Structure 1
Amino acid sequence: MGRGKIEIKRIESTTNRQVTFSKRRSGLFKKAKEISILCASDVAVIVFNSTGRLFDFASSSMKRILERYRNASGRGVWNNEYEQMLSQFRNLKKENEELQKELSCVTGENVETLAPKQLDYLEENLVLAAKKVRERKTEVLKYERRKTESKVIGLQQKQSILMELLAHAENHEEYGFTVSNSEGQTTPPPAFRVQPSQPNLQGSGH
């Protein structure tokens, strides 16, 4: 009893679709290898799955087979993309050369190769650049001056506070120190008197 005919349509189940893809891909690559051996043919197969993953098979060199395809069909596989990349590279190279030339002129190199109009243009740019440098320098100096003035004001305020505290301490009796007795009354601290040392008459031998 033979198998029933399988309806060719999209497999909705993700798991079943992945399993079927793996089996069919292996079978496809196997058939491609067989035809390349049996018929002495160059075979290349390129497959992308539903997630964009690449699978390929080549009986020899994939690059050589694609080159043969391009020559035989007259259609380039990477021609458009390659030409765009090459054009972008050329433009970037040209821009880089122009920038290098302008930079060397700004530093005073190779100015002898410039025409009068180019020299006028360079002079205008240098004048404008010097103006911007002066403006920026002025801004920086103003900022540094404001910062220094702020520090000076802060130091002056601290000095003023210290002077007030010192004046208050000098005007207060005994510099503001008091002693509390057992009854809770405050009295000035006791005065300390240094007594002169007396000679030991008994041990002097006189």
Structure 2
Amino acid sequence: MVRGKTQMKRIENATSRQVTFSKRRSGLLKKAFELSVLCEAEVALIIFSPRGKLYEFASSSMLETIERYRRHTRSAQPVPRTDEQNMQNLKLETASLMKKIELLEASKRALLGEGLGSCSLEELQQIEQQLEKSVNTVRSKKSQVYNEQIEQLKEKEKVLLAENARLTEQYGSQPQPATNEQRENQSYAESSPSSDVETELFIGLHRSSLR
């Protein structure tokens, strides 16, 4: 019967966690020492406790072992590509971009109705479908803009009607001030002769002179 592996997890109890840390730390330091003696291995071990306390073991010099590790990691990194390889890759990328630009320019001319002499029937149909799709997109956007403008005008109309109703309610019952023309007509009527005064026009000698 094969026993299943016990899943390791953090010890919740702080006291038990500290006891386990002390035991495992001592055992790990002991194993590192034994490995360096029995196998003549260069061993460096660094441990920080949960509170930040440092525990370490080095079979020779800790700093020398760390520097040796750094030299090893640098030498294990992939060798950078030479300038010639970089130039070759740049040429390939440039050629690929130029090809894409040529295709885009040809597609642009075809959409403008230029250079269609070498196009096949299938290519012309594709161009036609693309143009129809573009026209439908433009019409849809134009309709959307129209609807938005209409809604804005309706909102402005509501505001103006509300303002007009407010002004009518505020000033509608008060007498309106006379205009300049009305004031001039009134002044002229006051300065003119009264309508009950008789006026006659005589031609020739006055009646009093004939007596």
Category of TM-score, reference length = shorter chain: 0.3 to 0.5
Q: Higher relative contact order at CA 8 Å, sep ≥6: structure 1 or structure 2?
A: 2
Q: TM (normalized to structure 2)? A: 0.44
TM-score (norm 1): 0.45
